[in-house]
């Protein structure tokens, strides 16, 4: 059981199953530059596109490649679905009790959420809204600030090591979701679930009114 005042969700792999689209885009980008497709597909999830490009292909114009990838991702929404339990869990929360913190761009994130049939959050922190992406804590700290909550009353739901590291650095507790990485990679989480169907919310009248149960 975890008590919280707000829940901050990563998007891809937590709320939205976008794995197929991400793989298609990465393969097209690899072919565009003659890079090994399998190497590009296996690149870490949960980090900003610009950081991945800079690490893999520093000889390229990073911002030009980010624009190309963002445009290609925006067009490829085929097969986008909600992670099991996402609709129910978000429906149990008030608009000021949750936010999305994603490495995706501010145009792409709403498109993926809508394509998966999920509501758009009142508070959305995208990768292009912060100077440093995950594993830096900036995105999660900004989300807490916009919700009017101190970090220590927020619980983060994450599927990737970089996002977990960011949340812990922000002073938040983390529920790991084993959709993208095995449980052994989700280090530092207070609890780990298979998907969002294993998280339920109850309420009481305390300062932290959300009581989260995991199984």
Answer for the pair 179, 17: CB distance below 8 angstroms, yes or no.
Answer: yes
pLDDT at 23: 92
The token pair at 93 is 């929360």
Tell me the sheet residues that pair with 7: 98, 155
Residues 28, 72 contacting (CB under 8 angstroms): yes
d(CA 51, CA 208): 35
Helix spans in the chain (H): 19-33, 37-41, 49-56, 62-75, 86-91, 108-115, 138-147, 161-169
Digits of tens for pLDDT over the chain (215 positions)? 899 999 999 999 999 999 999 899 999 999 999 989 998 888 777 677 777 787 778 888 888 988 898 889 888 999 999 999 999 999 999 999 999 999 998 889 999 999 999 999 999 999 989 999 999 999 999 999 999 999 999 999 999 999 999 999 999 999 999 999 999 999 999 999 999 999 999 998 887 899 999 98
**What is residue 62's predicted lDDT score, i.e. its pLDDT?**
85
Give the pLDDT of residue 131: 93
Q: How many residues would you count in the chain?
A: 215
What is the distance between the alpha carbons of residues 30 and 109, in angstroms, rounded to a whole number?
Answer: 23
Dihedral sign (CA 157, 163, 168, 169): negative
For residue 135, cis peptide bond before it (omega within 30 degrees of 0): yes
DSSP 3-state of 215: coil
Total Cβ atoms within 10 A of residue 158: 31
pLDDT at 84: 98
Instruction: Provide the annotated active-site residues.
Output: 10, 12
Task: Check if the beta carbon of residue 112 is closer than 8 Å to that of residue 80.
Answer: yes
Q: What share of the chain is helix, strand, coil (3-state, %, to 5)?
A: 40, 20, 40
Cα–Cα distance between 52 and 1 in angstroms, integer? 35
Per-residue pLDDT at 195: 97
């Amino acid at each position: 059981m975890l008590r919280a005042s707000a829940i901050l969700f990563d998007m891809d792999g937590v709320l939205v199953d976008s794995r197929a689209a991400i793989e298609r885009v990465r393969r097209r980008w690899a072919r565009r530059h003659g890079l090994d497709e399998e190497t590009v597909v296996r690149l870490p999830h949960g980090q900003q596109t610009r950081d991945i490009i800079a690490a893999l292909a520093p000889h390229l114009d990073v911002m030009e490649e980010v624009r190309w990838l963002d445009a290609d991702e925006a067009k490829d929404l085929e097969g986008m679905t909600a992670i099991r339990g996402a609709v129910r869990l978000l429906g149990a929360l008030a608009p000021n009790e949750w936010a999305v913190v994603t490495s995706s761009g501010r145009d792409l994130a709403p498109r993926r959420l809508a394509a998966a049939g999920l509501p758009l959050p009142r508070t959305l922190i995208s990768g292009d809204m912060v100077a440093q992406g995950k594993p830096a804590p900036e995105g999660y700290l900004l989300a807490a600030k916009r919700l009017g909550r101190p970090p220590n009353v927020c619980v983060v739901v994450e599927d990737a090591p970089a996002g977990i590291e960011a949340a812990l650095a922000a002073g938040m507790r983390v529920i790991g979701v084993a959709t993208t990485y095995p449980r052994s990679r989700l280090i530092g989480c207070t609890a780990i679930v298979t998907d969002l169907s294993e998280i339920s919310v109850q309420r009481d009248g305390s300062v932290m009114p959300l009581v989260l149960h995991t199984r």
